[in-house]
Structure 1
């Protein structure tokens, strides 16, 4: 299981970490919904509800000529629905072969279903987010559960798997540590995080975001960005590459009072003069 766990967790972390870096998402305030919505919008994936009287089918993924759709049991808790949506997304992102995937209630022997479970747990509760919340901010179990909108069972299972696979400790020993944390004693889990934090941080730092996507995200919000946020905008070559990658973006550089600022703006949101005036204000207000 360890080898498969590491493989799927690595894929999930690579994808979610890159998304976090591209969008500037806060680690402390992280919630999976922005990541899920990105995929739903990009691939026009439909989210549907279903209900079967037997309540045995938690989730479904259908892929056909009409597109891709995910569905979840409408009478399940919000926490379970969240897990199901990320589970179904896992089938899609992991590229599982097939046109229909069914998540059944209870434990599954299917390799694809287990992989989708690992993906879902990692996306809902990324290592770096758990480290930020539990080790650095020292949030309680209940607060982490509430912030990430996951079930008690899911958070316990995630923490146990995290430490079993990173520390190679016995599952029983790790469970006791998580059990203490669940009941309000965080001493032991802080010790565990202290042992793995460098590894978690290194994994996060090794993932590089796409700076052009990051700029695009910021421009979509405010229409303007300057080199005080993206230092690369001071470089002529970088600005030319940016304009080539983002056709509706223009860049310029402004000199004033012995200071220099590079900037970019969305041409459909402001004029060149408006962007220049904004850059001048930044220079005037800078120390």
Structure 2
């Protein structure tokens, strides 16, 4: 797997999460994504107290279940990187059943490291925090909850990918940013790549099925105000392949129809219909129209 491929996979996961949850660059924290994805995929996350050199351990069993553990005595920032690294093995679909986070420079370990660094500090977040919000290196350490070494490496990786600067120039820029001797140098360097960073963020699109997953988790019901495709019976048939237990229905009044789906395990038909009725009222009388 190429460096570019790892970046695209990481960005696709992270940017979808940011857009679905309305997270701006200054609001972003890896915790939200990590907790969301591990819950969605039923990944068990726990501490361990093994050999201090074993920072992280992830296991995939014969049934495809995945678990992540991290050394409980390590600093919180190191734990953050470890958890993201182990998650990377799973989301990058690495071959194997047991992964031990170590200093080995195997391709899979390097890919997991890249994934972890991007998850902790996505490109669009670095653009926002450094260029738009003028955050210092020290502020980034605190807000992104990264170690000094991890952030230094991430910035070098970021500038290598997005600029044509030589390594010695990049090292000097980062050092000047860290010491605050010439903080504007890194802002200027990143601004040269501003357009491409934004375009990469915009290129990650949200599908209707992603919104349905989000709204079902939050409200147990989704209406055609939220996802207009619910008015299409073929779309309903397709999503029932993903969510086989959902019930679909509609509410008609004042010459307008609102379609909705709900999970019968979590809400009753009466509750769902009342929610649909409320959404229909808002649509008709408060001008919340379906586009």
Rounded to whole Å, the distance in 1 between the matches of 2:257 and 2:98 is 53
Q: Of the candidates 240, 255, 262, which is equivalent to residue 266 of structure 1?
A: 262
User: Would the alpha carbon gap of residues 243 and 122 (structure 1) be closer, same or farther in structure 2, given more than 3 Å must change?
Assistant: closer
Which residue is equivalent to 1:183?
A: 179
Q: Which runs of 5+ in 1 are unaligned?
A: none
1:137 paired with 2:133, answer yes
Alpha-carbon shift at residue 117 of structure 1 (Å): 0.4
Which residue is equivalent to 1:83?
A: 81
Q: Of the candidates 155, 158, 161, which is equivalent to residue 162 of structure 1?
A: 158
Which residue is equivalent to 2:168?
A: 172
Which residue is equivalent to 1:61?
A: 58
Alpha-carbon shift at residue 201 of structure 1 (Å): 1.2
Higher mean alpha-carbon deviation, 223-232 vs 65-74, is at 223-232
Rounded to whole Å, the distance in 2 between the matches of 1:138 and 1:238 is 49
Rounded to whole Å, the distance in 1 between the matches of 2:234 and 2:186 is 44
User: Would the alpha carbon gap of residues 216 and 98 (structure 1) be closer, same or farther in structure 2, given more than 3 Å must change?
Assistant: closer
Say whether the 8 Å CA contact 2:20–2:211 is kept in structure 1: yes
Which residue is equivalent to 1:285?
A: 286
Q: Of the candidates 190, 195, 198, which is equivalent to residue 195 of structure 2?
A: 198
Q: Which runs of 5+ in 2 are unaligned?
A: none
Secondary structure of the residue that 2:2 maps to in structure 1? helix
Rounded to whole Å, the distance in 2 between the matches of 1:274 and 1:231 is 17
Rounded to whole Å, the distance in 2 between the matches of 1:58 and 1:227 is 47
Alpha-carbon shift at residue 183 of structure 1 (Å): 3.0
Say whether the 8 Å CA contact 1:263–1:279 is kept in structure 2: no
Alpha-carbon shift at residue 196 of structure 1 (Å): 0.7
Rounded to whole Å, the distance in 1 between the matches of 2:37 and 2:77 is 20
Query: What is the alpha-carbon root mean square deviation over aligned residues?
Result: 3.0
TM-score w.r.t. length of structure 1:
0.82
Q: Deviations over 1:182-235 (max 9, x none)?
A: 2345311211121111111111211222222213312432345556654556x5
1:31 paired with 2:29, answer yes
Name the count of aligned residue pairs. 279
Q: Deviations over 1:101-138 (max 9, x none)?
A: 2222xx43322211110111111111112112222232
Say whether the 8 Å CA contact 2:6–2:114 is kept in structure 1: yes
User: Would the alpha carbon gap of residues 273 and 218 (structure 1) be closer, same or farther in structure 2, given more than 3 Å must change?
Assistant: closer
Say whether the 8 Å CA contact 2:251–2:273 is kept in structure 1: no
User: Would the alpha carbon gap of residues 236 and 70 (structure 1) be closer, same or farther in structure 2, given more than 3 Å must change?
Assistant: closer
Higher mean alpha-carbon deviation, 172-181 vs 237-246, is at 237-246
Rounded to whole Å, the distance in 2 between the matches of 1:183 and 1:43 is 41
Q: Deviations over 1:16-45 (max 9, x none)?
A: 223333444444312222332344234432
Secondary structure of the residue that 1:279 maps to in structure 2? helix
Rounded to whole Å, the distance in 1 between the matches of 2:135 and 2:252 is 45
TM-score w.r.t. length of structure 2:
0.81
Rounded to whole Å, the distance in 1 between the matches of 2:224 and 2:179 is 47
Q: Deviations over 1:156-192 (max 9, x none)?
A: 2111111112213122211222222223453112111
User: Would the alpha carbon gap of residues 81 and 261 (structure 1) be closer, same or farther in structure 2, given more than 3 Å must change?
Assistant: farther
Q: Deviations over 1:222-262 (max 9, x none)?
A: 345556654556x5468746764555253546665x9x674
